[in-house]
Structure 1
Amino acid sequence: MDILLSADQRRFKEECRIFAENEIAPLAAKYGETDDIPGELVRAMADAQLFRLLVPEETGGRGVKSMPICLVREQLAGVYCVADVTFAMQGLGSYPIVLAGNGEQKARFLTRLGSGEILSTYALTEPEAGSDVSAITSRARETDGGFVLNGLKRFISNGNAADIAVTFAKTPLPGNARALSALVVEKRMEGFRVHKRLKAIAPHDLVELEFADCFVPRENLLGSVGDGMKIALKTLDRFRVSVGAAALGIAQVAFGAAVDYAKQRVQFGRPIAGFQGTQFKLADMATELDAARALVYRAALLQDAKGDNITRAASMAKMYATEAAFRIVDQSLQIHGGMGVMAGSTIERLYREIRALRIYEGTTEIQKLIIAKSLTEG
């Protein structure tokens, strides 16, 4: 599906592939699966100017465009989950500031985020507020000079390493008791701490964040009081398609491994690639991979061109690519047979890593609701 890319985009994709192979793969081998973010990894990504893709040109970046973000995630995800998550969370934590930050906030935060000097995270999910964002119970009470924030956030990626957390909390308004606001909470602020580090089936920096009478100055409010829901949804809209791109990266590695193994593995006197059952699996995998890539690239191009039905296209891409990638990884494991379930093998790692992508930034079921709503109410 590279036919959808311009010459510059194809060249950038190849640069990302080489970077992932030459710089990230050795770090993956050195640090392995970890719930920490190695400083060496952050420096490598910063030196490659990757974080600058997440901030505007006026703050030292290269402009926030969906296609480059997708091409980076596609190449990182299959090589090292920690690198992909770090890039994604830097984007999710930066984009609310890009959207709603004033000049002072952009200068204060985005310049350092783009250089990799500081790391960010996006604190939206809570124990009782996952798909239903309106169920958030964290509260930010207005007081002299700012807000007093109380609440608990769960499943926050890069939450331990992050220097800032864009945090969404209830700030009730007349006529809107569920109004949310977005606050930039800094690690140094009293009352803000990592409450618990969480263990997922695919290790990465995943935590619960606690805010206990945490004072956040008014200058850290993004936009106006009550703008939080709009900021949160626009951010998810922008980065949702890149989750599909990460799924492509994982699926591509799994597919390549399946083809190689099928050619080498001999049973009943010949490579299993010669058996129709294996051939049908490979044919389905190749077709789904191409279809998923087309949907992801189309959505990214539409976002960058400010085209029509962008939200629907992003949801289609995220839904189909993550579901197809899961099927591809599963069939690759099946082709590998017993070797596929051996701890430490590439396909075993990918099998664990792909599962979360069907859940975070909007489950498959939520994507279907978004798509259907756009068709019936648009």
Structure 2
Amino acid sequence: MSFDLFTTTEEHEELRAAVRAVAEDKIAPHAAEADEKSAFPQQAYEALRATDFHAPHIPEAYDGVGADALATCIVIEEVARACGSSSLIPAVNKLGTMPLILGASEEVKQRYLTPVARGEAMFSYGLSEREAGSDTASMRTQAVRDGDSWVVNGQKSWITNAGVSRYYTVMAVTDPEGRRGSNVTAFVLHADDAGFTLGEPERKLGIKGSPTRELFFDDVRIPDDRRVGEVGEGLKIALRTLDHTRVTIGAQAVGIAQGALDAAVAYVKERKQFGKAVAEFQGVQFMLADMAMKLETARQMVYAAAAKSERNDADLSFFGAAAKCYASDAAMEITTDAVQLLGGAGYVKDFPVERMMRDAKITQIYEGTNQIQRLVMARQLLK
């Protein structure tokens, strides 16, 4: 493994300041309402589209801004600092389109990446199923060739931003008798395809402003020109996608944790007990120091992994898994400690830390549970 250093440039820090300004002005004021009502944060989407932060990773060749992997992580981090649900707009646009960037034909890239870059459509990703979560190769959704078309039947579970996305990258078995893992193909499905329906929104612990629903396919006929990559290459493309996008989940976790730490610091400096600010007690100071130390370690791991994602380094699988795993574990610890530091105030919705704690939990679960991340890391070490 290489341990090449990375640096943030002046442009990266200017980007951070710009995103933070948008997040504080246009996104944070609506975060509690999106959570309370389980409503998609439309104001956030409009603000992100207006500033080209909704899908910054898309290359300039497709009308995107061509942000590098580290810049994309900074966008997601700063949005997550204000609202975890809203950060899934740029994060899931990357997740849904990354299979196309990695494996699609130029014609497919032009057709689908351009409207996402322009803010005309969002993109979701369909890999998991009810009985195929961590064990993705056991998926049952099938696509059967019929002339120049494919007929898709099955379902996908836990699909982020389902119902607001126009396009979906869907993995389906195209050779039921083929070798496991080499019998899956990726396709682009449209929200208005005949036979494509959605389940009811899931009632979730956190990230409530980002809808999560099942996808159902009942004889959905799609042309072969919506295929992403070669027949049988779908699962390989899906797993390569996750190598890159796990880094963005690490960035989301860092952002949520930063928001919680900021709120905790502000509170303990103002709250007085026993005649002095709570921040003056050494026990509280130690908690804050540990929180900040974990947060900065997580941030550095995410940024190092982002640099490897940009270079497509051979050890990206290890670093992507490590960054996502460490950052999400740290975010869960930091947000829980933030609730503790606010005491009773931390447990009520008058303050944002209870929302941040709930939002942080999913970062340990989606795009591969942290148990799976540890398996990925161990396999890389044992190669």
**TM-score tier after normalising by the smaller chain length:** over 0.9
For residues 259 and 64 of structure 1, what CA distance do their matches in structure 2 show? 32
Q: 1 CA distance for matches of 2:310 and 2:9? A: 13
Aligned structure 1 segments of 4 or more residues deviating by more than 6 angstroms? none
Among residues 37, 40, 63, which one is paired with 2:40 in the alignment?
A: 37
Q: Which moved more, 1:258-267 or 1:315-324?
A: 258-267
Q: Which residue of 1 aligns with 2:235?
A: 229
1:26 aligns with 2:29: yes
1:338 Cα deviation after fit: 0.9
Report Cα offsets for 1:73-113 as digits up to 9, x if no partner: 10011212232112211111111111222122112111101
CA apart distance, 1:32: 5.1
Q: Which runs of 5+ in 1 are unaligned?
A: none
Structure 1 residue 263 and structure 2 residue 269: aligned? Answer: yes
Deviates more, 1:51-60 or 1:199-208: 51-60
Corresponding position of 1:196: 200
Say which is worse superposed, 77-86 or 49-58, in terms of deviation: 49-58
**Given the alignment, which residue of 231, 241, 246 partners 1:240?**
246
Secondary structure (helix, strand or coil) at the match of 1:200 reads coil
Counterparts in 2 of 1:1-378, with a 5 A limit? 4-28=7-31, 31=34, 33-63=36-66, 65-172=68-175, 175-178=178-181, 179-202=183-206, 203=208, 204-377=210-383
1:11 is matched by which residue type in structure 2?
A: E
Tell me how far 1:350 sits from its aligned partner: 0.6
| Deviates further, 256-265 or 133-142 | 256-265
Secondary structure of 1:190's counterpart equals: coil
Aligned residue pairs, count: 376
1:78–1:249 Cα contact (<8 Å) kept: yes
Following superposition, the deviation at residue 305 of structure 1 comes to 3.0
Gaps of 5+ in 2: 1-5
CA distance in 2, matches of 1:224, 1:217: 14
* Alpha-carbon spacing, 1:144–1:64, altered in 2? closer, same or farther (3 Å): farther
Q: TM-score, normalised by structure 1?
A: 0.94
TM-score for the superposition, normalised by structure 2: 0.93
Shift of 1:29: 5.9
| Percent identity between the two aligned chains | 35
User: For the residues of structure 1 that align with 2:33 and 2:134, how far apart are their CA atoms?
Assistant: 36
User: How far, CA to CA, are the matches of 1:308 and 1:176 in structure 2?
Assistant: 25
Give 1:173 shift: 6.6
Whether the aligned pair in 2 keeps the contact of 1:181 and 1:222 (CA below 8 Å) is yes
When residues 284 and 327 of structure 1 are mapped into structure 2, their CA distance, relative to the original with a 3 A threshold, is same
Cα distance in 2 for residues equivalent to 1:122 and 1:35: 21
Q: Distance in 1 between matches of 2:176 and 2:265?
A: 58
User: What's the CA shift for 1:214?
Assistant: 0.9
Residues 176 and 237 of structure 1: CA distance in aligned 2, closer, same or farther (over 3 Å): same
Q: Give the aligned residue type for 2:145.
A: E
CA 1:194/1:344 → structure 2, altered by over 3 Å: closer, same or farther? farther
Question: Distance in 2 between the 1:64 and 1:38 partners?
Answer: 23
The superposition leaves residues 279-329 of structure 1 with CA deviations (integer Å, 9 ceiling, x where unpaired) of 211111111111111111111112223445221111111111110111111
Deviation at 1:217, TM superposition (A): 1.2
Counterpart contact for 1:53–1:62, Cα < 8 Å: yes
The one-letter amino acid of 2:286's match is F
Cα offset, 1:39, TM superposition: 4.1
